A = this chain, B = another copy of it.
């Protein structure tokens, strides 16, 4: 099903000089369908559940290749496992609030903060490539029930 989406993802992969394997297509399709921040094991299990044959090693290798091409973004929430999300356009960059109680992740974007980052880099003659701006704490849901 969704042969059109498959074709489109095949196209995307080739534009980034990546071979369009069924595993990579399935992985991209999975991440495209959600805003969740999966780790590699979760992605592996989801693909199995969807009857896709894939190995753990391929999940890791695919995520590496896709991240290299900025098709997915690696997220490090500091709990020992990397998370991944589908990269949206440059204009859709966002950072994260992470609830330490329930694990909920709230996405946000703050233009002034991004501007301050560039300003700090200039002051230090530093050429930025990526950044992590993660704020840990307690979300509104968890605040009420201590």
How extensive is the interface on chain A, given as a class?
A: 35 or more
Q: Once the chains bind, are B140 and A126 in contact (CB under 8 Å)?
A: yes
Distance to closest chain B CB from A47 (angstroms) = 25
Name the CB-closest residue of B to A97: B126
- List the number of copies, as a whole number: 2
**Does A120 reach chain B (CB closer than 8 Å)?**
yes
- Which 7 A-B residue pairs are closest in the complex by CB-CB distance? A125-B140, A128-B137, A113-B116, A131-B135, A127-B138, A129-B137, A127-B137
Q: Is A34 an interface residue (CB 8 A)?
A: no
Contact partners of A74 in chain B: CB under 8 A? 78
Indicate if the CB atoms of B112 and A116 lie closer than 8 Å.
yes
